[in-house]
Amino acid sequence: MTDANGGAAHAGAPKHGEVDDKSVELFLGRLLRYGVLLAALVVLAGGVWFLVESHDVPQNYKTFRGEPAELRAVPQIVKQATALRPLALIQFGLLLLIATPVARVLFSVFGFALERDWMYVVVTLLVLALLIYTLTSGSDI
């Protein structure tokens, strides 16, 4: 078998516009790498900013104080982070860190669908549903 230029065509090579396992894996690897890097940078920026703002405030570590009420739900965290509040930026960075593997599963569904691997599409959709349910269900812990 030869290609249009008279050279030998590779039987296993994807045609132009087709998606193969390697390209999907490379994309998902980059997604994870850049997602974790972005999350780390946001947490670092928020942490440094928080330390700069509160370096002279005395701390009492004898009693535990959780996060303020405005930093306990995703919409409130996003609102506070867009207002450039240091603690909210730290929380937002942690949300990005949690969202990164969820995004990987979501894009895996599309990758498997493009490859027409329907069994993996179904399994990955089940995993995605379980992740979303677990992350959004209320907990009294």
Number of CB atoms found within 10 A of residue 3's CB: 10
Please state, in angstroms and rounded to a whole number, the distance separating the CA atoms of residues 106 and 31.
11
4-8, 67-71, 95-99, 111-115, range with the lowest pLDDT:
4-8
In DSSP terms, which residues pair with 8 in a beta bridge? Answer: 2
Asked if residue 89 lies in contact with residue 81, where contact means CB atoms within 8 angstroms, the answer is yes
Please state, in angstroms and rounded to a whole number, the distance separating the CA atoms of residues 121 and 133.
18
pLDDT tens readout for residues 74-93: 889 999 999 999 999 999 99
pLDDT tens readout for residues 38-52: 999 999 999 999 989
pTM (predicted TM-score): 0.73
Helix (H) or strand (E) holding 91: helix 86-114
User: Domain-by-domain residue ranges, the chain?
Assistant: 21-54+67-136
Q: In angstroms, how far is CA 111 from the centroid of its own chain?
A: 16
